[in-house]
Amino acid sequence: MLNLNRAMILGNATRDPETRYTPNGRAVANFGVATNRRWTTQAGDTQEKVEFHDIVAWGKLAEITGQIIKKGAKVYVEGRLETRSWEAPDGSKRQKTEIIAENIIALSPRGYSEGSASPAPQEPSAGVDKVPEENINQLPENEKSAKPALKPAPKSTKKEDKEDKKDEDAIDLNDIPF
């Protein structure tokens, strides 16, 4: 018999990720994502419902998430559902269902912050799947020796910057079909 526990959501981050480290040095990041659902009733009224999802990322994904996701940013999260239970200080039983992230994609431009009309100017950089060299000392001891595979991109010339800006302008998030 087959089983499947898969969650895929596309929404907006409701808060900046909170990154912490476990006693054994493993990074964990928590943040929220809101998704909207709109429909039209038989009477022709448009209704909307918002769902709030708690996201948990572990390890390198947690560290990177803490660096690139900001409140209000559009984000795609893929992972599995997990429910945890605990007893509150008042003795009541509590439980919470979270999405344990296995893949997170930031869809808003880098430097995006809630309420900004356009992204903040950013210096050209390498891919987002690495920890910057200056942050390597924040890694747990067991991950410090494994330096990022990618090196920062060399400073580009003004001509290259203009070409990069043309490429960035060619991509519109509204053109993405999902």
Q: What is the mean pLDDT of residues 74-100?
A: 94
Q: Which of 22-26, 90-94, 115-119 has the lowest mean pLDDT?
A: 115-119
pLDDT digits (tens, 9 = 90+) for 13-23: 999 999 999 99
Q: What residue ranges define each of the domains in the chain, with the CATH number in brackets? A: 7-38+48-175 (2.40.50.140)
The identity of residue 154, as a single letter, is P
Cα gap 161→155, rounded to integer Å: 10
State residue 120's pLDDT score. 41
88: pLDDT strictly greater than 70? yes
Are the C-beta atoms of 108 and 171 separated by less than 8 Å? no
| Confidence tier at 109 by pLDDT (50, 70, 90) | confident
Ranges of beta strands (E only) in 6-143 are 7-13, 18-21, 27-40, 46-58, 74-87, 93-106
Helix, strand counts (H, E) of the chain: 3, 6
| Confidence tier at 64 by pLDDT (50, 70, 90) | very high
Cα gap 25→142, rounded to integer Å: 8
pLDDT digits (tens, 9 = 90+) for 119-176: 443 333 333 333 344 443 444 444 444 433 334 445 555 555 555 544 445 555 565 5
Cα gap 130→67, rounded to integer Å: 10
